[in-house]
Structure 1
Amino acid sequence: MGNQFIISHDVGTSSNKTVLVNTKGNILATASAPYPLLTPHPNWVEQNPEDYWSAIIKTTKEVMEKSQISPKDIIGIIYTTQAMGVIPIDRQGNILRPNISWVDGRAEKQAQKIMNKFLGERLFKGVVGTTLMGKDVIPKLLWVKEMEPEIYSKTNYFLDVNGYLKFKSTGIPIMEWSGASSYGFNLKKKDWLKTFFQICGIETNKLPPLVRSIDQVGGLTKEAAQDMNLLEGTPVFGGCDDVQSAAVGADAIGEGEAHIYLGTSAWVCVSTSKNLKFKNGAAVIQSADPNMNQVVGITEAAGSCIQWIADQFYKHEKQDKSINNVFELMDAHVKEIPPGSDYLICTPWMLGERCPVSTTTTRATLFNISLEHTREHMMRAVYEGVSYNISWILENFKKDYGFEVSTLKLIGGGSLDEQWMQILADVTQKPVNTVADPQMAGAVGSAICAAIGLGIYDDFSCTKELIKTDKHYEPNQKNAKIYSELLTSYKSIYYSLNKSYAQINASRF
């Protein structure tokens, strides 16, 4: 058992992170490889699936070289990936167009068209629990059908990112339950919502067969094994989307347990066995645990807002060779600004938003700027803005679902930022725990799915033994008043400016 290892790939929006772990979830080696986002048109975001596979090959070889492990000791390969990808393949397995990314918002007209089949947005929301957006998968499938009919007609299956990588690994076109649940999945019957797809005009024979996260779906083909320098037939497992693996890697897989991911994007997620409705932009999706569901509220831009500040306002510092880490410098500057940023508020909706509000046209705002404000104020306001968004989601979860979250379990690169963690604790007035190697938590969570599939562990309760808390942050009650006041203003900014944003951006998106 001690000489057996799992390779887990976390294929995110901007890069693939790969971990080689043993059966206790301990990391032996890591590697990462970036790939670009393509924006061929305003509000379009695409990626080349070949770039994912190139990153998989590169990082697999790298962790094997670093660890000096023999390929015969690799007992499983698994992927956890960004959700909601749209990758059409033909009967020969050829990719027909670039992946339409989850942040892409091109299909607003198709979303409206689908809702009109249900006699309008209001009735649709009453039936389904949420409105459809141009960022949702089924409108994007309809967009392909209407705008790229030749591609649609040649499509044998639509795959998500995880499905594509399993296909490249095994030659078998399939989709895992959690990935399917961001398309259209019946959580009770564990099957495609076939009638809904048909009403929307999407042929269900273009949807691949379904598997669970813990299922062995096949073995590495000869070609894939040669690409990776691994053995042909090495078991490949179902895997899951990133939100679901993060819950496992954060030890937030049990009833009512919550985790927050802070990376390029962010999300708040609560696990539950209940079959709940979509509300206020929150989605109810399949957990990595086949017996559980998850309520998740996704914030489109989080760490990407911090990166934007670094790119636009710290160019000089980034070029200064005496500064090793510009983000540590930014952290020190954030500390100098008082809580509330002297009443400067940032709404971090750089890409529109999913939750706590659903909108494709809204964009980020710096509100209430005056002569006293500096770039450091703007920066702290961004950290606080993401935290306001998360706090609003938590409030909705309590109101809509009765979730009383006592402690926030944080993972993702943002959880390494101690100032941000304290701000989040202060804004939400909840204690915050982080895990060790938080950027690798999703990959470790995915590896645990493979370990359960291999029979090494009986079920997902093993996370209590495998996942340990690293750092703890207590909320400062002195800051509760200012943040409560500014959170109220933060919400009112959305309601006051939403129509203005829709008006100015209507012709652009």
Structure 2
Amino acid sequence: MASAGRAAVSSSNERLVLAVDLGTSGCKCALVGLDGSVQAWAFRPVSLHLVGEHGVEQDPEDWWQAFLGAAQELLAGHAQRRRQIIAVCCSAFGECTVPVDKQGNALSRAMLWLDMRGADAIRRRARSGRLNIQGYGPLKLARWLRLTGGAPSLSGKDPAGHIAWLHDHDKPLFERTYKFLGALDFMNLRLTGRFCSTYDSALTTWATDNRDLSRVRYDDRLLRMLKLDSKQLPELLPSTEVIGHLTPKVAETLGLSPATRVVAGAVDNSAAAIGAGTVRDRELHLYLGTSSWIGAHIPEKRTNLSAFIASLPCAQKDRYLAMAMQSAACSNLTMLRDRILFHPDELMRDDSRPDVYALLDNIADRVPAGSRGLIYLPWLQGERTPVDDRHLRAGLFNLSLEHTREDMIRAFLEGVALNTRWMLEPMLTFVGCNRGASMTVVGGGGQSHVWCQMIADVTGMVIEQPVAPIQANAVGAAFIAGVGLGEMSFNDVPALCQRERRFEPREALRHLYDDRFGTFKELHRRLAPLYRRINQHRSAPR
């Protein structure tokens, strides 16, 4: 089902950006003013394709058709609205690989950030002899960290692993490929006909020298380590670059002027950092989507290898974005909804059923803090920060006959909040923030007042909730376009981002949640060896 947001009344001379937010679940399009106001939005879903035990793919043509469908819904019958659009700018999920030919046609479906087929191939490239550190050759790891700020994921989930797998297992396709593109790069190619990649989109190829943000470039030695040729990769550009105009065909399809400019845009974490209004140094934002992350801009490139946190190129040309990432956030609620409380067919059959997530909120709010001693471990897909462990799994701890379904619902929400605190602690040290600072929450999970208050109580942080948390990526893309067009600067952004509510941590719950957090960490310490033994020969769940 497609869905559209209600259009706001806009003045006839207001200039709008057609902002695109391509996520794994589908494509949102929004009409956003340069003041950050969202005039209208629409959504189209995109299907996943599972390939064998480890492969997860999407058809890039499905992305494009979802974009066209959502954009046409916004623009159909609105001649005035079409005239107001001055630019198109995309945000898209990262760690994705699309092989294309010289004409820009996709040669296969895209390998997504969930795809782990490249694990063995990238491990062969990362190792060196018998002496290795966490699976990496010492000299190789040192070079990756020094130049890029990180290193390829040994799970094979990023473009370095995807391309390695294609090289080793589908050589004909590898050799036919003109360029390997990310999702953002592919959308920009279809919009303008230009093969290019932003610094943040190209990052997880792990072949770029990011030490000087004024000249990010491919490094020959990194390319040799990965068995890659720079000719197979797109040119590198900052996120605010105007990369061209809409092609005549796209302009005609959307009813827009061929003179409409396209700004390069950013991957989702970079766009969310802008859309949250957290553009100043060390201002934290928490994204609660299918997965989650905490980010903050800082002026220098740094890496904390022990906590798996790094600062990386982002939408701001003179700043790095410090990133700590976790594998599962709202996916835990989707699991609860679709596999425990309801069957998906039930949700589809009954159109009168109330919004399930709002219902879960109301139920959780009636349960005492601490879920009557029930603790949920939200590791559905392993974990990434502050430990990188694909063997971890989710579970309810201390479940007894006295517990109810309502207790379990609150425990799921508290489990993600406890996991967020686990990620937050090394992140605060990394960026130089105090525990009592504020953090802006965006993404679909950021719409929940109950969850925002819970996260404030569990972490001890003041939680800021924007007016429309779920639209942060689209708003961020619009602001990036505004900067690229010279209409504004990133310094203007904080004043344009309105706050809906502010959630203060409640002192009365501090001792309770400190105790729960201690138990949470102890459960990880004791269970991690057991998870490793049980799951060492099994792939991470998808």
Alpha-carbon deviation of 1:462? 0.8
Q: Distance in 2 between matches of 1:52 and 1:377?
A: 39
Q: Deviations over 1:87-138 (max 9, x none)?
A: 1112232212211111223322233223312741343656637663212331
- CA RMSD in angstroms comes to 2.1
1:224 alignment partner in structure 2: 250
Q: Deviations over 1:299-326 (max 9, x none)?
A: 2211111111111233288466654222
Instruction: Go from structure 1 to structure 2 and tell me whether the alpha carbon gap of 1:499 and 1:148 turns closer, same or farther (over 3 Å shift).
Output: farther
What secondary structure sits across from 1:492 in the alignment? helix
The equivalent of 1:376 in structure 2 is 406
Which of 336, 352, 359 is matched with 1:309 structurally?
Answer: 336
* Cα separation, 2, equivalents of 1:74 and 1:372: 58
1:167 to 189, 193, 211: 189
Does 2:341 align with 1:330?
no
SS at structure 1 position matched to 2:80: coil
1:249 aligns with 2:249: no
Question: Contact 2:246 / 2:262 at 8 angstroms: preserved in 1?
Answer: yes
Is 1:294 matched with 2:307?
no
**Secondary structure, in 3 states, of the residue corresponding to 2:239?**
coil
How has the CA–CA distance of structure 1 residues 305 and 401 changed in structure 2, closer, same or farther, with 3 Å as cutoff?
A: same
**Unaligned stretches of 5+ residues in structure 2:** 1-11
User: Following the alignment from structure 1 to structure 2, what is the Cα–Cα distance between the partners of residues 507 and 69?
Assistant: 59
Secondary structure, counterpart of 2:403 in structure 1: coil
Partner Cα distance (1:407, 1:356) in 2: 20
Cα distance in 1 for partners of 2:223, 2:377 equals 35
Measure, in 2, the Cα distance between the counterparts of 1:75 and 1:344: 52
1:240 paired with 2:266, answer yes
Percent of residue pairs identical: 29
Cα distance change on mapping 1:215 and 1:19 into 2, 3 Å: same
Change (3 A) 1:322 1:88: closer
1:393-404 alignment, distance < 5 Å: 393-404=423-434
Displacement over 6 Å in runs of 4+: none
Cα shift at 1:400: 4.1
Q: How does 1:189-228 map to 2 (within 5 A)?
A: 189=212, 190-228=216-254
Secondary structure of 2:204's counterpart equals coil
Instruction: Report the secondary structure of 1:239's partner residue.
Output: strand
Structure 1: distance between partners of 2:493 and 2:77: 27
Higher alpha-carbon deviation: 473-482 or 106-115: 106-115
Given that residues 407 and 431 in structure 1 are in contact (C-alpha distance below 8 angstroms), is that contact kept between their aligned partners in structure 2?
yes
Q: Of 264, 269, 272, which aligns to 2:295?
A: 269
**Would you say 1:7 and 2:37 are equivalent positions?**
no
User: For residue 154 of structure 2, what is the aligned residue in structure 1?
Assistant: 133
The more displaced of 58-67 and 144-153 is 58-67
The alpha carbon displacement at 1:207 in A equals: 1.3
How far off its partner does 1:489 sit?
Answer: 2.3
Tell me if structure 2 keeps the 8 A contact 1:115–1:121: no
**Which whole-Å CA distance do the structure 1 matches of 2:219 and 2:455 have between them?**
38
What SS does the aligned partner of 1:369 have? Answer: coil
Deviation at 1:388? 1.3
Q: Is the 8 A contact 2:278 2:494 kept in 1?
A: no
Residues 426-460 of structure 1: CA deviation (Å, up to 9, x unaligned)? 11011111111111111011111111111111x20
Q: Structure 1 residue 498: deviation in Å?
A: 2.7
Shift of 1:48: 1.0
- 2:94 counterpart SS class: coil
Return the alpha-carbon distance in structure 2 between the equivalents of residues 288 and 436 of structure 1: 22
Which structure 1 segments of 5+ residues have no match? Answer: none
Distance 1:66 1:402, change over 3 A: farther
8 A contact 1:103–1:351 mirrored in 2: no
Q: Tell me the amino acid that sits aligned with residue 186 of structure 1.
A: D
Kindly state the Cα deviation for residue 191 of structure 1 after the two structures are TM-superposed: 1.6
1:36-435 to structure 2, matched below 5 A, reads: 36-65=47-76, 68-117=79-128, 119-122=131-134, 123=138, 128=145, 132-134=153-155, 135-184=157-206, 185-189=208-212, 190-279=216-305, 280-315=307-342, 318=347, 323-404=353-434, 406-435=437-466
Which residue identity is paired with 2:169? M
Separation (CA, whole Å) in 1 of partners of 2:397 and 2:487 = 53
431-440 or 395-404, larger mean C-alpha shift: 395-404
Please state whether the residue corresponding to 2:30 is helix, strand or coil: strand
What TM-score do you get using the length of structure 2 for normalisation? 0.89
**Separation in 1, partners of 2:44, 2:76:** 15
Instruction: Verify the 8 A CA contact 1:114 1:139 in the aligned structure 2.
Output: no
Contact 1:278/1:284 (8 A) holds in 2? no
Indicate conservation of the 8 Å contact 1:105/1:360, yes or no: no
Q: 1:358 to 1:193 in 2, by over 3 A?
A: farther
* 3-state SS of 1:283 partner: strand
Instruction: After TM superposition, give the deviation of residue 490 of structure 1 in Å.
Output: 1.8
SS in 1 for 2:205: coil
Q: Is 304-313 or 163-172 further displaced after alignment?
A: 304-313
Deviations 1:13-70 (A, max 9, x none): 1021111122222221111111112222234321111111011101111111375535
Moved more, 315-324 or 404-413: 315-324
Contact 2:298 2:431 in 1 (8 A): no
Counterpart-to-counterpart distance in 2, 1:493 and 1:202: 42
**Matched residues, number:** 508
CA distance in 1, matches of 2:499, 2:77: 27
Contact 2:49 2:58 (8 Å CA) reproduced? yes
Deviation at 1:148, TM superposition (A): 1.5
Q: Which amino acid aligns with 2:198?
A: E
Q: Greater shift after overlay, 382-391 or 403-412? A: 403-412
Contact 1:313 1:375 in 2 (8 A): no
Q: Distance in 2 between matches of 1:350 and 1:394?
A: 19
The reply on whether 1:19 has 2:30 as its aligned counterpart is: yes
Q: Which amino acid aligns with 2:470?
A: Q
Q: 2:520 aligns with which of 462, 466, 490?
A: 490
Alignment partners' CA distance in 1, 2:487 and 2:201: 24
The farther-off stretch of 109-118 and 17-26 is 109-118
Q: Is the 8 A contact 1:29 1:66 kept in 2?
A: no
SS of the residue corresponding to residue 41 of structure 2 reads: strand
Task: Specify the SS of the correspondent of 1:501.
Answer: helix
CA distance in 2, matches of 1:66, 1:336: 46
The structural deviation recorded for 1:249 is 0.8
Inter-partner Cα distance in structure 2 for 1:307 and 1:63 = 28
Amino acid at match of 1:353: E
